[in-house]
Amino acid sequence: MWKSGLRKYSAAASSTASAGNSTSISSTLLLTRNPVITADVSKFEAQYYKYQNELWKRLMWTFPSWFYYRKGTISEQAFRELNPGPVFNNPNIEFPRGRPVVVHQRDRRFKQELKLPKTYKEVSQEKKEGGETAAEEEGAKEDNLSRQIVPNSRITKADESKDLASLERQLSRTLYLIIQENSKWTLPTFKEEQVAQGDDTKDSSVTPLHTLAEQGLYKIGGNSINYFNVSNTPCHVHKSESTREYFIKSHILSGRFVPQSESIKFLWLTKEELGEYLEKDYYKEIEHLLSDI
Amino acid sequence: MSRLSIRSFSSSPIASKVGYSTVQPVHHLIPIKKQTLGKRFPELNIPKDDIRSPQYKPKDVYQDRVNEYYQNVLKSDLLLHYYEHDSEAVTGNKARSWGEFSPYAVYRRDRKPKGLSRATRDIKPVTPRNIPELTGISINLYNKAALEESWINISARLQLAQITNVKPKVVYNKSNVLPWKVRQGKECGCKVELEGRDMTRFLSTLVELVLPRIRTFKGIKDSSGDKSGNITFGLSPEEIKFFPEIENFQELFPNLFGFHLTFKTNAGTDERARTLLTSLGLPFYKEVKNVQ
């Protein structure tokens, strides 16, 4: 069977490994907010998708209107009114751009364009042109069950007001939590409370790194955070002469970070923004852990 | 030159009959004389995924939300989740040798593995190269009613094509079982293999629109799986009604057929495949056996 023996990554256990000297172990929390909406595509990508999509439509089969709109029904009549057939290949007419090849009410030289019931954009534009007030629209929204579905904006209020502490900013990007306690911005790092020497061997004194991170998070950010710990295994270790910082990766699922003391400031930042706030060497070291999207 | 092979974008006769076209689509616009196909015309032997090929079919037709989520979020999480320090591959139970020195064993098949009739695979540690991934979804629809009336299979194929956006392949009976009215060579259903955007679109429809509306749905059974990371479950005709393509046109689908879905992964073990599918939004439940 797969070796599933739980490996304990604990602060005390590692400090015994570096026996004697005063290396302090701490747990650093890489708390992320995953992207909520699809990624922003570059101009080239957008053009590529559009090109492929048009090609796809060009090669599509004719829409089987005879299946969805039975002959002689009212819906068929409505469909025909919306989608009048193309000009047929009249032998008495000269077609300077080539003769139409019509099969099943479709000119097969081109992609088939069907007119469907109006989109929300068209409807809202029409309403604006008609001079309907916003209040009337809202009233219609409330009581009309079959109201148009209008997607929310990709740019939120937090983006507009440049509120860096909001979880609702940069919806298409991954955000990381950083805090400031003593005039220096860092990822939240929690040291284990000092254990009397000799106690290290006892299991009761051992705090696993992920538990340490959890306790620390609740201590500084309150209990209203619902988070998901990806793994008890640290994903990175930051070494300096006297410290070992183990990175524990988690995602925030709901709730929010509420600083428990007034001295704590916090921000939710994207990868590029982290580069501006963190120390350069430190950022360079952890850059590969951060998501580009 | 014959004009028959020009792509027509539809295959039903000109006198538009009400029905479902059962002819495989042809993706070429150039008339091809098959007799002349040979080494003399290399441009006609261009692979299908080349845009110059007459059989080219565009694939990246829109932004793939599910795949984006997998690539940007899930992949790194799964790698960390399955990281194990100093891990090595666990060798499976393999066929054994009969011993080197026996002259009787020279051309004999290897001994069966200990305690099993079949060899099992090695379980390799998860590395950046083999992070569990959903490689495909295969849908199998076995249509009992088609054994007696083969035209019923047309509506089964239409149903599957509507749901998946892929032309289904017909499945034929392989043997004769007379009490079940199974006859060799008779149509008995259809199947679809989904990949790429068709797969992710089907998955998101299933997870976001269909499964949440099934009242009795608890999840996929924990015990489902073929031991190498492919997980199967079934949907009944009543549950298929919730697919939006069917739901909005119920009068067009008087006969509905249930089918089996197999989620094909490269996870290697069922446990890993379950983790992957859970993270893609498919719930699992533990089956309680022998309750008294």
Closest C-alpha among B171, B221, B166, B220 to residue B192: B166
Which of B12, B14, B73 is facing A34, going by the closest CB pair?
A: B73
Residues A275 and A163 occupy one common structural domain: yes
What are the φ and ψ backbone dihedral angles of A13, each rounded to 5 degrees?
-60, -40
Nearest CA in chain A to B9: A61
Which of residues A194 and B143 earns the better pLDDT score? Answer: B143
Residues A54 and A139 occupy one common structural domain: no
| Inter-chain CB proximity B61 and A56 less than 8 Å | yes
| Residue that is last in its domain, among A103, A131, A151 | A151
Residues B236 and B139 occupy one common structural domain: yes
Cα→Cα distances B290→B131, B163, B287, Å: 36, 37, 10
Q: How far apart are CA A177 and CA A184, in angstroms?
A: 14
Residues A109 and A185 occupy one common structural domain: no
Question: What's the pLDDT at A108?
Answer: 84
Residues B151 and B103 occupy one common structural domain: no
Residues B99 and B233 occupy one common structural domain: no
Residues B172 and B248 occupy one common structural domain: yes
Q: Which residues of B163-185 are buried (b: 16+ CB within 10 A; e: fewer)?
A: bbebebebbebeeeeeeeeeeee
Orientation of helix B152-164 relative to helix B196-205, angle to 10°: 90
Nearest CA in chain B to A41: B63
Residues A164 and A285 occupy one common structural domain: yes
Residues B117 and B236 occupy one common structural domain: no
B6: CB partners within 8 A, 6+ apart: B29, B31
Q: How far apart are CA A219 and CA B216, in angstroms?
A: 42
| Residue that is last in its domain, among A92, A117, A142 | A117
CATH code, domain with A261: 3.90.79.10
Instruction: Please check whether residue A1 lies inside any domain of the structure.
Output: no
Instruction: Please check whether residue A108 lies inside any domain of the structure.
Output: yes
Residue A229 has pLDDT above 90, yes or no: yes
Q: Residue B136, Cα to own-chain centre: how many angstroms? A: 6
Residues B107 and B19 occupy one common structural domain: no
Instruction: Please check whether residue B267 lies inside any domain of the structure.
Output: yes
Instruction: Please check whether residue A2 lies inside any domain of the structure.
Output: no
Instruction: Please check whether residue A209 lies inside any domain of the structure.
Output: yes
Question: What's the pLDDT at A19?
Answer: 46
Instruction: Please check whether residue B233 lies inside any domain of the structure.
Output: yes
Provide, rounded to the nearest whole percent, the portion of chain B with pLDDT above 90. Answer: 67
| CB A237, CB A244: distance < 8 Å | yes
Cα→Cα distances B157→A27, A76, A179, B2, B263, Å: 56, 25, 58, 32, 20
Question: What's the pLDDT at B162?
Answer: 93
Instruction: Please check whether residue A3 lies inside any domain of the structure.
Output: no
The series of mean pLDDT values per 10 residues for chain B, 292 residues long, is: 48 51 61 65 77 85 95 95 92 89 86 89 93 97 92 94 93 94 93 96 96 95 93 96 91 94 95 96 90 71
Residues B106 and B237 occupy one common structural domain: no
Q: How far apart are CA B162 and CA B167, in angstroms?
A: 9
Residues A202 and A113 occupy one common structural domain: no
Tell me: the pLDDT tens digits for A44-90?
A: 999 999 999 999 998 888 888 888 888 898 888 888 888 888 999 99
Residues A214 and A266 occupy one common structural domain: yes
Residues B270 and B147 occupy one common structural domain: yes
Residues A123 and A107 occupy one common structural domain: no
Which H, E and C letters describe B218-270, residue by residue? CCEECCCCCCCCEEEEEECHHHHCCCHHHHCCHHHCCCCCCEEEEEEECCCCH
Nearest CA in chain B to A58: B9
| Dihedral sign for Cα atoms in the order A177, A181, A185, A186 | negative
Question: What's the pLDDT at A82?
Answer: 87
Question: What's the pLDDT at A145?
Answer: 59
Residues B170 and B232 occupy one common structural domain: yes
Instruction: Please check whether residue B24 lies inside any domain of the structure.
Output: yes
Residues B192 and B101 occupy one common structural domain: no
Instruction: Please check whether residue A278 lies inside any domain of the structure.
Output: yes
| Inter-chain CB proximity A7 and B84 less than 8 Å | yes
Instruction: Please check whether residue B80 lies inside any domain of the structure.
Output: no
Residues A25 and A162 occupy one common structural domain: yes
Full domain range(s) for residue B112: 92-123
Question: What's the pLDDT at B27?
Answer: 59
What are the φ and ψ backbone dihedral angles of B247, each rounded to 5 degrees?
-60, -40
Mean pLDDT (whole number) for A141-156? 73
Q: How far apart are CA A140 and CA A202, in angstroms?
A: 68
Question: What's the pLDDT at B81?
Answer: 95
| CB A102, CB B8: distance < 8 Å | no
* pLDDT, chain A, mean: 83
Instruction: Please check whether residue B150 lies inside any domain of the structure.
Output: yes
* ipTM exceeding cut-off 0.85 for this assembly: no
Which of residues B20 and A236 earns the better pLDDT score? Answer: A236
Full domain range(s) for residue A125: 119-151
Total of domains in chain A:
3
Instruction: Please check whether residue A4 lies inside any domain of the structure.
Output: no
Residue B216 near chain A (CB below 8 Å):
no
Q: Which residues of A6-27 are buried (b: 16+ CB within 10 A; e: fewer)?
A: eeebbbbbbbeeeeeeebebbb
| Dihedral sign for Cα atoms in the order B119, B123, B128, B131 | positive
- Burial status of residue B290 (CB atoms within 10 A of its CB: 0-12, 13-18, 19 or more): exposed
CATH code, domain with B208: 3.30.1440.10
Residues B156 and B210 occupy one common structural domain: yes
Contacts of B62 in chain A (CB under 8 A): 49, 53
Residues B200 and B236 occupy one common structural domain: yes
The A-side interface with B (CB below 8 A) comprises 1-3, 7, 34-35, 38-39, 41, 48-49, 52-53, 55-56, 59-62, 64, 66-68, 70-71, 103-104, 106, 108, 112, 174, 230-231, 233, 235, 249, 291, 293
| Residue that is last in its domain, among B58, B84, B105 | B58
Cα→Cα distances B111→A17, B102, B106, B108, B191, Å: 48, 13, 12, 9, 37
Tell me: the pLDDT tens digits for A89-121?
A: 999 999 998 899 888 888 888 899 888 655 556
Residues A167 and A281 occupy one common structural domain: yes
Instruction: Please check whether residue A6 lies inside any domain of the structure.
Output: no
Total of domains in chain B:
3
Question: What's the pLDDT at B1?
Answer: 40
Task: Tally Cβ neighbours within 10 Å of residue B214.
Answer: 15
| Residue that is last in its domain, among B66, B100, B123 | B123
Closest C-alpha among B292, B201, B185 to residue B243: B201
- The amino acid that residue B238 corresponds to is E
A80: CB partners within 8 A, 6+ apart: none
For B243, the token pair is 């697919």
Cα→Cα distances A239→A2, A9, A21, A244, A245, Å: 32, 16, 15, 5, 6
| CB B173, CB B182: distance < 8 Å | yes
pLDDT-based confidence at residue A15 (cuts at 50, 70, 90): very low
